[in-house]
Chains A and B, each alone.
Chain A
Amino acid sequence: MITISKDYGYPLKDCFESFLTFIVTRQCSKYLKEMTTTDQAKTAILQFPYASIQFIADSNQCQHLSDECIKYLTLEATGVVRFLLQDALKFTRKCRRTKMIIDDFESAMKMRYLEPIVGFRLSNGNLPFKITTAVGSSHREVQCIDDHELQLDQVITAPLPKVPLDFSIRTHWLAIEGKQPTINENPEIISKADLTADSLDPMKSLTKKRYNLDASKIKTSNPHELSLEQQIYYKEITEACVGSEEQKRQEAIASLTTETGLHQILPRIVLFISEGVKINLMQFNLAILIYLMRMTSALLDNKSLYCEKYLHQLFPAIMSCILAKQLCARPDTDNHWALRDYAASRCAQMVKMFSANIHGLRNRIVRIFLRTFHSERLPLVTHYGALVGLCEMGQETIEELVFPIIRTLGERIIKSLENPSLSSIDKITIDRINGVISKFIPAAYRASRPSPDDLEHFKHEFGSYYGHRLHAQVIPLRQQTRSSTSQSTQNRQFSPSSGSNSRVPKLLPGQASPSSHHQTPGSITPSRSPVRPMNPSLSKPHSQSSTISLTPANSHENVIL
């Protein structure tokens, strides 16, 4: 035990040396934790709390320290630790780190011939300190060691900590002749804005570059010269995507979805898709068409790619897959519906993605779909495609454009049903159309029109064929909504605001849509189709994207408001 005289000065310093070391060892580790940068400022600011020193003195059986003594000790301890931290900074800087670690501090202590602190390392890098408030008049914060007793059994039986990984070296090309290849090891150098601008106006970026290309040069030379690696990649990817091995295809699709350096190959892949669709439409090769659509989907999902520039190639391909008169050799048995549905949802996704940047895109697409209904000559399958394409675009489109169509569509169906020579394809198509209408329309109707639902009104709006059906479907939906809303939002229902009426029904379509779409992957796979089944992972992006494509209900709300 240390006896302390009241006056302080040099003799006291000697007598306190051990005590100080104790304080330093106890306290400085706490500050180490905060020293994360090589900032000198921190060492200067650091100041021991008076209460902490008092607490340590008390706990170290030095109860009768005067205020002056503790003040002196606080100053002294602060000074010692500041010196040590400044020394530790030297080591941190020498080791080219930006963070000071305990080892630096230990080295600094060694340099001053002090015993390094032991027992303050935890495997998680934290220091075993806790902050409590001192008992007594001054309720100030005090740091103390979180010293708890351990059961020997626990220590022995505890699982061994994870062995730290050994060093390993990984090599990659940071730059090749002044250009950083876009690989996963390199950061994304090109900003999003640049890329968008680049894809919209490639000439600008070309002229912006260091070397000045003559106008004539630009015309003749191909701006996207592919390297050998890229050529190989392109070959491998395209072969895998339309090849027969599902495993490889999945890998290729995954690569297309995640790879960051595809900018230069993108035009080729897009060309591949559009040409592939053209040819395979003629040959009724449903499988290839589905693969191509999956590639399109992967490209759209790739966050580092911007396809604005290639829409003129992508949209025709997708629209063809939606609207084609015939997609497969045996349209009555093969499941070309899945392709149409899938392509329609992609189409809706694309419209949503790019309509912000490209003016009038949505209108143009919608116009194409609508035009099909005006033509009597087109088969019912095309109507089906157009209907799905429109319905996928969301609430607003359904309300504005699909509702008026249903009447003419119904008339058309009645006409074809009356036709004695009704083909089996048309029969299936009519069933399908009915399915689509009952899937989208009642929910949309419920969301847009207030009850009561008058049958006459339905008949007037949707014609005789669909008026009945829809009326029958809407009424149970309404009841369902009421029961669910009364359960979930009782308070809101009684609120006087009339606006709640329009908001509440929104709850359901959002919930219902993913589940309703989950059924489609099952129906995608026809039993007798020569096509390999679309892999189950497809259902995931599908359902996701469909929720996305349906959610524009929200954005639509914004537009109206």
Chain B
Amino acid sequence: MHFPSSSTTSSSSPSLQNQISNTANSNNVLFLPSNTSKMSFIIPNNNNTNNTINNSSQQQIVSSSNILSSTPTSGMTTSINLNGINPQTNSTSNISISSGQVTSQQRLTFPQRSTSLIPSSLSSSLSLSQSQQIPQEEFMKILRVLQENNMTESVETFRKEYQTLFNKTATPTTISLSEPYFNALDGYISYVQEQPDSSRHEFAQLIYPLFVHMYLDLIEKDQLDEAQRFFMTYVKNTNLQATVFASHKDDLYRIKSLITKEQIAQSEYVKSFRHNGRYWIKLCNASLELLDQFLIKQQKYPLLTKIVQAYFQLEINDGSARNAETQRLLSGGRLGEIKTEDNTNRMYYGLLRDHDLTRILQHKSILASSTGIDNDDGAGDDQPSTSKNRKKLKKDFFNQRQSKASLKVDPNAPQLTRIPIPELREHERMDLINTFQEDYTRMLKITPDNLPSCCYYTLLNGYLEINCLEISEDSTLLAVGCKNSSIYVYSLNRQKLITMKLPHELERLDKSNEHIYEQMMTNDDNKDDTNTNHDNDILYNQRLLCGHTGPIYGLSMSREKWFLLSCSEDCTIRLWSLLTWTCLITFRGHTQPVFDVQFGPFGHYFASCSLDKTARLWCIEHAQTLRLFTDGCNDMETLCFHPNSNYIATSSSDRILKIWDLLECKEGQQMKPIRQMSGHKLNVCILKFSKDGRYLISAGFDRQIMIWDCSNGSLVTCLLGHSDAIFSMDISRDGLILCTGSVDFSIRIWNFGQLIKDKDDGKLDTVQRVTPSAKYELVTYRTKRTSTTLIHFTRRNLLLGFGVFIPPNESTTKTKT
């Protein structure tokens, strides 16, 4: 406290003397509210009006004493009021005593900044009392001091007092209350505009968060009208609109809908914006120094300094200033950008060697040596020669595989035991090898000259009813999750959906029989005949799974087509068996609607994310959660498993992508995402890892397809082309083609392989990160009235598109709005 006691006493005592000397005149003071906004006091000199004025002055005294009695807790502040008002109210000795208390209390509580105000107000009051005029600014200044120190109650009482005194509404006070905010932000914006072109955008980063904090402050001070004026002034500013607010449109409207203090207290958004951490801003060294000069040393706008100190974190970016485009691309997160050190931990993004069948099988020599295997799978045992041959081939195959594996050790691959993965059962393994051989030899290679064919499944009569779709890995089963909590499973090829026999029937089976698997299933051939007349109907067979009590939001099928996971609004996840067509387990744990669920690439594990702001890792053998990933105040919306089953990526409502490590962290450490990526301007709808596990591709409502490098969390590029939200995405089996489906009734096919190749060759433009569609887009397919909600490459790289047909009358209303 640097309040100079001597000065106050010296300044206050003459004022008191003055008052006392003026007491004789005091009764002559007449307060008249003038028509103009500024208030003036007319003091008639003639004593004729004495009688009438007497009453009013007595009232004033009563009211001022009221303050003391009614608000004993805020005695200090009240006394300040009185100190300020003293010359105005011409108080009696009673008040002058209280003003004596002021000095002592002021010394105790007043912060530094008020020092300049109080003496000046007093000194001015001195002059005022002499000139018999009190400018309104004095009052405002006191009010401001109070407000800046969050003395809300005293502000209230002070204002009430002022009103009763001057019989005037609070409008002039409110204007002045918001004034420092206007001034500060205007001042900062003009400061930004003074900066040279090369670094202006660096300073402009601060405008948006400053704006939001100021708006929230204003609302918290019950200045709704002023806050709205504040909002409109800056949001309507076209210059700011294009640059500063463009990345935060969604949040802008969210804060606009906050209009009362209580709402701010309740709002999730404010929680995640104000209390979930600091707004992270990256600046180059030079800019930071300049900013420091402006905010701390000059102290032109203390308000700015206060907000920046309370809510901001500035990080020095190595080297010179980034270009505006890069900065624009990476902006959009609710809390600004990502701390650089957050992305420094090592991530093992390589693929697991043992399970990486696809990559091995692609190798031609192996394929050549093992072509014999798939021909005689089941019934080969009765021919000893072939079986011998087969065994030999198989041995060769695995030997080669092993040698191959030892040759190429991916330094980025995690250890096999890092996350324990159940061993593949032998029949599963053989099944995999067979299918991969069969399909990978015939896999189409998609090149610019050889574009993929696309078979499109249009779901009719399902508009607004169907929530989500899921297809099995081998493209034979389609699961449809509905709004009415039912799940349908359709067979997409002509094969019937088989059911396993009942337990008592299973017991009777001869387990040594080699056709045991076929015998386990019910074979009702009779039904076949009845179904033949539905030949043209693709819904050859369908099943209904009932159990959930709310809309289904996510589905996931395990690779071997045995299990289906579904998550719903009823906060549960259910595991269904696709052999018995019953619900096996209900996983409870989430406390809010579950938004997404996904099987790990090797089954066994699955992850879910929910509106309760957590993502969880589960395993189908336990009913309890294995891992819990919490994310402060943001809903988790979508997730994606890494192909090596060691990581999951999630997108949350703060538009930041996070990659979480499934490995248990050390004791006492909080689960922290291993990678965070900001850059999306609206919610993300779909996430996918590239086939080699190195890149994360994300897309959503902001129409951008962003490709991230998992090795360091940096942005590779951003593909633009769609004209509406992107809902679906898939990568071809060879990992070279990216395909996206959007609400604009189009499917776009991108040359992902070329893009990565260009990136590795350093050909990719690192300055201009946005890649327009022309460069890597191969082709666009348009649908008539269907927005693609699921897109899938079959094992032979045929593209399958799925979408719900939108009736024409619906979209006319859409275009209208």
Binding site for B on A (CB under 8 A): 13, 36-41, 43-44, 46, 75-76, 78-79, 82-83, 86, 90-91, 93-99, 101, 103, 107, 110-111, 164-180, 185-187, 189, 210-211
Asked whether B460 lies within 8 Å of A174 as measured between CB atoms, the reply is: no
Binding site for A on B (CB under 8 A): 224, 249-250, 253-254, 256-260, 262-263, 266-267, 448-462, 464-468, 478, 480, 483, 488, 490, 537-539, 550-551, 553, 569, 592-593, 595, 611, 635, 637, 653, 683, 685, 701, 725, 727, 743, 745, 747, 778-779, 781-784, 787, 789, 799, 801, 810, 813-814, 817
Asked whether B461 lies within 8 Å of A165 as measured between CB atoms, the reply is: yes
Asked whether A40 lies within 8 Å of B810 as measured between CB atoms, the reply is: no
Asked whether A98 lies within 8 Å of B259 as measured between CB atoms, the reply is: no
Asked whether B701 lies within 8 Å of A93 as measured between CB atoms, the reply is: yes
Q: Report the Cα distance A43→B789, complex, angstroms.
A: 26
Asked whether A95 lies within 8 Å of B483 as measured between CB atoms, the reply is: yes
Q: Report the Cα distance A43→B595, complex, angstroms.
A: 22
Contact flag A177-B450 (CB < 8 Å), given A40-B249, A103-B483, A169-B458: yes
Contact flag A175-B454 (CB < 8 Å), given A90-B653, A95-B553, A169-B460: yes
Main secondary structure of the interface of B (DSSP, over half): mixed
Asked whether A211 lies within 8 Å of B449 as measured between CB atoms, the reply is: yes
Asked whether B257 lies within 8 Å of A171 as measured between CB atoms, the reply is: no
Asked whether A111 lies within 8 Å of B460 as measured between CB atoms, the reply is: no
Asked whether B461 lies within 8 Å of A167 as measured between CB atoms, the reply is: yes
Asked whether A43 lies within 8 Å of B685 as measured between CB atoms, the reply is: no
Contact flag A103-B551 (CB < 8 Å), given A82-B257, A178-B779, A186-B782: yes
Asked whether B451 lies within 8 Å of A170 as measured between CB atoms, the reply is: no
Asked whether A172 lies within 8 Å of B456 as measured between CB atoms, the reply is: yes
Residues of A within 8 A of B685 (CB): 93, 96
Residues of B within 8 A of A91 (CB): 551, 569, 593
Asked whether B253 lies within 8 Å of A41 as measured between CB atoms, the reply is: yes
Asked whether A168 lies within 8 Å of B461 as measured between CB atoms, the reply is: yes
The 9 A-B residue pairs with the shortest CB-CB distance, nearest first, are A178-B451, A174-B456, A40-B253, A44-B256, A44-B253, A82-B257, A174-B454, A165-B461, A175-B454
Q: Report the Cα distance A29→B262, complex, angstroms.
A: 24
A83-B257, A171-B456 known; 17 new pairs, CB 8 Å cut-off, are A46-B257, A79-B257, A94-B467, A107-B550, A165-B461, A167-B461, A167-B488, A168-B459, A168-B537, A172-B455, A173-B453, A173-B454, A175-B452, A180-B781, A186-B784, A187-B745, A210-B449
Of the listed residues A39, A99, A173, A186, the one surrounded by the most CB atoms of chain B closer than 10 A to its CB is A99
Residues of A within 8 A of B448 (CB): 210
Of the listed residues B466, B635, B784, the one surrounded by the most CB atoms of chain A closer than 10 A to its CB is B784
Nearest CB on B from A413, distance (A) = 58
Asked whether B254 lies within 8 Å of A86 as measured between CB atoms, the reply is: yes
Nearest CB on B from A420, distance (A) = 70
Q: Report the Cα distance A131→B104, complex, angstroms.
A: 63
Contact flag A167-B263 (CB < 8 Å), given A111-B593, A177-B450: no
Residues of B within 8 A of A79 (CB): 257-260, 262-263
Asked whether B801 lies within 8 Å of A174 as measured between CB atoms, the reply is: yes
Residues of A within 8 A of B256 (CB): 44
Asked whether B781 lies within 8 Å of A37 as measured between CB atoms, the reply is: no
Residues of A within 8 A of B781 (CB): 174-175, 180
Asked whether B490 lies within 8 Å of A173 as measured between CB atoms, the reply is: no
Nearest CB on B from A118, distance (A) = 16
Contact flag A171-B814 (CB < 8 Å), given A95-B551, A166-B461: no
Residues of B within 8 A of A43 (CB): 253, 257
Q: Report the Cα distance A265→B775, complex, angstroms.
A: 34
Q: Report the Cα distance A13→B553, complex, angstroms.
A: 35
Q: Report the Cα distance A41→B448, complex, angstroms.
A: 41
Asked whether A111 lies within 8 Å of B592 as measured between CB atoms, the reply is: yes
Asked whether B782 lies within 8 Å of A180 as measured between CB atoms, the reply is: yes
Asked whether A93 lies within 8 Å of B254 as measured between CB atoms, the reply is: no
Q: Report the Cα distance A171→B611, complex, angstroms.
A: 35
Residue in B262, B453, B480, B743 whose beta carbon sits within 8 Å of that of A176 in the complex: B453
A–B pairs, 16, beta carbons within 8 Å? A40-B250, A46-B257, A79-B258, A95-B551, A96-B467, A99-B810, A107-B550, A111-B611, A165-B461, A167-B488, A168-B459, A168-B460, A172-B458, A173-B454, A180-B782, A187-B783
Asked whether B464 lies within 8 Å of A99 as measured between CB atoms, the reply is: yes
Asked whether A167 lies within 8 Å of B452 as measured between CB atoms, the reply is: no
Query: Nearest A residue to B724 by beta-carbon distance?
Result: A98
Residues of A within 8 A of B254 (CB): 40, 44, 86
Residues of B within 8 A of A107 (CB): 550-551, 569, 593
Q: Report the Cα distance A175→B778, complex, angstroms.
A: 13
Query: Nearest A residue to B554 by beta-carbon distance?
Result: A94
